Homo-oligomer: A and B are copies of this chain.
Amino acid sequence: MREVAEAYFEAWGEHEALLLKPPRSPLSIPPPKPRTAVLFPRREGFYTELGGYLPEVRLRFETYGTLSRRRDNAVLVFHALTGSAHLAGTYDEETFKGLSPLERAFGKEGWWDGLVGPGRILDPALYYVVSANHLGSCYGSTGPLSPDPRTGRPYGKDFPPLTLRDLARAQARLLDHLGVEKATLIGGSLGGMVALEFALMYPERVKKLVVLAAPARHGPWARAFNHLARQAILQDPEYQRGNPAPKGLALARGIAMMSYRAPEGFEARWGAEPELGETYLDYQGERFLKRFHAES
């Protein structure tokens, strides 16, 4: 890939060393069209690693640029837990109107717009960039909100638990669908873990592997944080009653955010007004309720 302009230092959080400042470019890509592919059709189905079954699997995805004749310029970007397929560019009004309410709540702009565009690190003139929404998400792929073809009603709590391996397998099938044998993988957080798993499962399909802010294995500290966040959702009776965005989800988001940030960062940002740190967590939690589903 091309040279980056400079290292990007964000003054708080533990991930700053991994962020790069892309070359500045005022150009953004034209509005992308989200697409949906049926990757595991009804005649085949999808058996999850833990023994669950999905009669059909669809992934929502977007592509930027063109696959080269030698089919050697594909870059597959894996989003983090709460991300979506909408990587870069800004949806036009017509496309935006056609989206689900949660997708509209996610916003018009791609989540990693700074990296994809003319003159940016992932320049669509050079690369065929693919960004798929993970299996199990609430942003257009088969997930708890999707109708179960057997009942016609959303899976809800009956949606089978997924593993990284399931997510990687669905992404590999998408590469098949697009006629891509080998790709560079980029993923951060959950996406980085999926990328690592993908590389273990299909080493011959990986050209380069870029893993940001993701471990090969979850240690007890990270697991404990995730456990508390899950408890915050599970203990909320609103969630038990079927509310897809209960207050406990906002609390879970707050708990997760504490694991993303270092005390030094909190001090740098809110040292002068410590109560604003609390307000920030509440704000992020409330905002999150509008755009995410507790089961995803």
Q: Which residues of A contact B (CB under 8 A)?
A: 218-225, 227-228, 231-232, 235-237, 247-248, 251, 254-255, 258-259, 261-263, 266-267, 269-271, 273-278, 280-282
CB distance from A219 to the nearest CB of B (A): 5
Closest chain B residue to A224, Cβ basis: B277
Closest chain B residue to A237, Cβ basis: B237
CA distance A251 to B224 in the complex (A): 11
Q: Which residues of chain B have C-beta atoms less than 8 A from A274's C-beta?
A: 218-220, 223
- Taking chain A's interface residues, is the majority helix, strand, or loop, or is none over half, making it mixed? helix
Is the CB–CB distance between A270 and B231 below 8 Å? no
Is the CB–CB distance between B223 and A251 below 8 Å? no
Is the CB–CB distance between B255 and A224 below 8 Å? no
| Given known contacts A231-B251, A235-B247, A235-B251, A258 and B225 CB-to-CB distance under 8 angstroms | yes
| Given known contacts A254-B231, A255-B255, A258-B225, A277 and B220 CB-to-CB distance under 8 angstroms | yes
| Given known contacts A247-B235, A255-B255, A258-B258, A267 and B228 CB-to-CB distance under 8 angstroms | no
CA distance A231 to B258 in the complex (A): 14
